Structure 1
Amino acid sequence: MQMSDRDPPPFWDPESDDVLVCRAVRRQTHDVATFILTAAQPRRFRYTPGQFMTFTVRIDGAEIHRCYTLSSSPSRPDSVAITVKRVPGGPVSNWLHDHLRPGMDIAALGPMGDFTLDPPRDAAPEKYLFLSAGSGITPVMSMARNLIDTRFDVDAVFLHSARSPEDLIFARELAWMAEQAPSFRVRSICERDTPQNRWPGAMGRLDAALLAREVPDLCDRHVFVCGPEGYRASVRALVGQAGLDMAHFHEESFDFGVLAAEEPDIPAQIEALDAARHKVSFTRSRREIECGADTFVLSAARAAGMRLPASCAKGMCGTCKCKLVSGTVDMQHDGGIRQREIDQGMILICCARPTSDLVIER
């Protein structure tokens, strides 16, 4: 049966669709830009607000994988968007800012991720608090956009922290959203103002007094937090001290914004003394290590001093994807690799344990 002109396009299928096309680039701040993307063929996108996609770019002949949270809302299903901060020394964020232009393709996997908000449409309305710092605003912005589009009874407070007024992301849109929904309140906090832009609002950093003043009913809300680890730790302590039921506390645990600048430390598991050990050879790095049968390859490599790109360490993001030249592994992933990639010999070394000696192209 042929699709008529009035039939909607099919949904994006992560198993078969893997190319997005940049349609627009919108400047947010001096070092943050939003990239609007559609599928190469007509597709709609379904995902849960807060999820991310893994993007692959080729820089100086090498493929590099990076994860970026979708800042768009699934309530607008014809495109997706990522909002990316230029990270000093970050190869992918700088490449995106300097090279990705309308009409260009980019490889993508996903969407995926567990830091999400998708309230049932027929459920009684709940109250939310969104807390973000810097480029950590992207997943909670997706959540807020979706609520504004789909829940006319939304009751939410959005507190965003930035270094200065020039670093406020989505400031105009958030102000517009607050105008559309009387019970959607937005407050921004700047560490400092600038000679060009004196900040009239809250100054400094989020603390207990400011939180109590802006959100007196904090303990009645579901709290969603994203930002650098230090910020998240501070917020975690503040809401805990305020008496929030921590079952209502949700945070994004992957700091994708700093992935390009530094790699997380993934400790090796403690192996049983009698566990079988296998030799793992990395062809590009010209390194050879030993890895126990009960140890993930990435953990063993990190313990041996190798610096390899990784993010989630759960088989979700695809950042550590490698070609397995020879050998066999036991791999239990969580969506970060397609079946056809597995059939082509690719593995995620963060969730792969060796069952023989291995040769890996990395």
Structure 2
Amino acid sequence: MAAETSLPSAAVRYWNDAEMLECVSVIPEAPNVCTFCFVAPSGALFSYLPGQFVTLELPVPGGPLYRTYTISSSPSRPLSITVTVKAQPNSIGTRWMLDNLRPGMRIKALGPAGHFTSHHHPAEKFLFISAGSGITPMMSMVTYMYDLGRIPDVVFVNCAKRPSDIVFRERLEHIASRIDGIELRWVVEEGDRFQPWTGYKGMFNQLMLGLTAPDYLEREVFCCGPEPFMQAVRDALAGLGFDMDHYHQESFQPSVEEEDRDATEGDVVPEDAKAEVSFLDSGIVQTCKETDTILATARAAGLNIPSGCTFGVCGTCKIKKKSGQVHMVHNGGITDDDIEDGYVLACCSHPIGKVEVEA
């Protein structure tokens, strides 16, 4: 979906990932959380759906490293895009961004991509539930709804460790103060010493769900956050009789349900047998087991195929298969059209016998 613009130019250009992104600002949001704003050096506009993500190629020592981040800005504001990232104790890529990425630097990005968007599930009433940096797709979607100028019906629940950890709090409270229809519900585990807290406190559960959104059964639910948090939300909704066809989540961690889902080229299952992958661009032939992925086989051969999530969500490792058969179990990171055109995701494709790929 192309974002509308009132610019007078008759030939509007849109950014694609053949062009690098230029960082123009870095905005601190919370402890170990920053928003990075990027523009296209050519002046191209950005077109994407609210809630989608990009994969950044980060030049870390020993890299490059590919990391997938949800776009926190809205396509209704197409002059730039932002990603808001939180560094965990074991972060490598995100830590590099916070310590090194500065205005004027350019990095490569892949995308936008992703199916976690309210555009795919139109409804009269929405419930956005997030924790930590999982607030980013919700911020994009609610900003888009605000910019439309119509009155939405959104209950926006965000959970954080403490009040100072709530990302976008002031910005969201400003939006909610300007129009009706956006109800904010902050939930924290503990208070801040110098900031008395009078809102919800505790862990998200069925009781908290009923308090924050009493009419949750009537709403389209979008959820994003750490996997244990999303599991708690799923359990709370299912236990209260919610129709889970109206539940949607964004996750860059594999779930048992998704790992078991079969999305193969043919009804085949990899075995502990020998296979062979020919990387045509590099002229390398590497033997492996059928239980190995093409990505793991490439790395064993000393090849660097770009990859992000490594389990079939982000689509960063998409490559063209020229011959042979693979067993591919993905999580939405590749389209049916791409599969029909011969593309596979290296991170979740297992070679069956001899396979040739462009890499």
Q: For 1:277 and 1:119, locate their aligned partners in 2 and report how far apart those are by CA, in whole Å.
A: 42
Superimposed CA distance per residue, residues 25-52 of structure 1 (whole angstroms, 9 cap, x where no aligned partner)? 1110121000011112111111111111
Q: Residue in 1 aligned with 2:274?
A: 277
Q: For 1:99 and 1:350, locate their aligned partners in 2 and report how far apart those are by CA, in whole Å.
A: 32
Which amino acid is 2:294 matched to?
V
Q: Residue in 2 aligned with 1:259?
A: none
Do the aligned partners of 1:328 and 1:354 also contact (CA within 8 Å) in 2? Answer: no
Instruction: Give the CA deviation at 1:209.
Output: 1.8
Q: How do residues 265-304 of structure 1 correspond to structure 2 at under 5 angstroms?
A: 271=269, 277-279=274-276, 290-292=288-290, 296-298=293-295
Q: Residue in 1 aligned with 2:15?
A: 12
Which amino acid is 2:98 matched to?
H
Q: Residue in 2 aligned with 1:187?
A: 185
1:86 correspondence with 2:75: no
Q: Residue in 2 aligned with 1:237?
A: 235
**TM-score (structure 1 length as normaliser):** 0.77
Mind listing any 5+ residue stretches in structure 2 that lack a counterpart? 1-6, 263-267, 280-285, 300-304
Superimposed CA distance per residue, residues 230-267 of structure 1 (whole angstroms, 9 cap, x where no aligned partner)? 000110111122222111111113249xxxxxxxx979
Change (3 A) 1:218 1:315: closer
Q: Residue in 1 aligned with 2:101?
A: 100
Do the aligned partners of 2:319 and 2:357 also contact (CA within 8 Å) in 1? Answer: no
Q: How do residues 304-315 of structure 1 correspond to structure 2 at under 5 angstroms?
A: 310-311=308-309, 313-314=311-312
Q: For 1:252 and 1:272, locate their aligned partners in 2 and report how far apart those are by CA, in whole Å.
A: 28
Superimposed CA distance per residue, residues 108-130 of structure 1 (whole angstroms, 9 cap, x where no aligned partner)? 0000011111179xx8x610000
Superimposed CA distance per residue, residues 163-220 of structure 1 (whole angstroms, 9 cap, x where no aligned partner)? 0111110000110111122111001111001213232211111122222122111111
Which amino acid is 1:6 matched to?
S
Instruction: Give the CA deviation at 1:89.
Output: 2.6
1:74 correspondence with 2:72: no
Q: Residue in 2 aligned with 1:204?
A: 202
Superimposed CA distance per residue, residues 275-329 of structure 1 (whole angstroms, 9 cap, x where no aligned partner)? 97314699xxxxx86322x874358899xxxxx96525227431x57999xx966
Do the aligned partners of 1:73 and 1:146 also contact (CA within 8 Å) in 2? Answer: yes
Change (3 A) 1:316 1:213: closer
Superimposed CA distance per residue, residues 33-79 of structure 1 (whole angstroms, 9 cap, x where no aligned partner)? 00011112111111111111011012224211110000010111111
Secondary structure of the structure 1 residue equivalent to 2:235: helix
Do the aligned partners of 2:55 and 2:314 also contact (CA within 8 Å) in 1? Answer: no
Secondary structure of the structure 1 residue equivalent to 2:354: coil
Which amino acid is 1:297 matched to?
I
Instruction: Give the CA deviation at 1:90.
Output: 1.5
Secondary structure of the structure 2 residue equivalent to 1:36: strand
Q: Residue in 1 aligned with 2:132?
A: 134
Change (3 A) 1:349 1:248: closer
1:149 correspondence with 2:147: yes
Q: Residue in 1 aligned with 2:165?
A: 167
Q: For 1:40 and 1:355, locate their aligned partners in 2 and report how far apart those are by CA, in whole Å.
A: 45
Structure 1 segments, 4+ long, off by >6 Å, are 299-302, 321-324, 357-361
Secondary structure of the structure 2 residue equivalent to 1:356: strand
1:158 correspondence with 2:159: no
Q: For 1:360 and 1:89, locate their aligned partners in 2 and report how far apart those are by CA, in whole Å.
A: 33
Q: For 1:254 and 1:272, locate their aligned partners in 2 and report how far apart those are by CA, in whole Å.
A: 24
Q: Residue in 2 aligned with 1:222?
A: 220
Cα RMSD of the aligned pairs, angstroms, is: 3.9
Q: How many residues align?
A: 325
Q: Residue in 2 aligned with 1:285?
A: none
Do the aligned partners of 1:317 and 1:335 also contact (CA within 8 Å) in 2? Answer: yes
Which amino acid is 1:46 matched to?
S
Which amino acid is 2:140 matched to?
S
Change (3 A) 1:8 1:233: same
Change (3 A) 1:67 1:129: same
1:65 correspondence with 2:81: no
Q: Residue in 2 aligned with 1:37?
A: 38
Instruction: Give the CA deviation at 1:355.
Output: 5.3
Bigger Cα displacement from structure 2, 348-357 vs 229-238: 348-357
Secondary structure of the structure 1 residue equivalent to 2:348: coil
Which amino acid is 1:204 matched to?
G
Mind listing any 5+ residue stretches in structure 1 that lack a counterpart? 257-264, 283-287, 303-307
Change (3 A) 1:192 1:109: same
Secondary structure of the structure 1 residue equivalent to 2:233: helix
Q: What is the identity percentage for the equivalent residue pairs of Structure 1 and Structure 2?
A: 34
Superimposed CA distance per residue, residues 320-345 of structure 1 (whole angstroms, 9 cap, x where no aligned partner)? 57999xx9665789559xx9xx9xxx
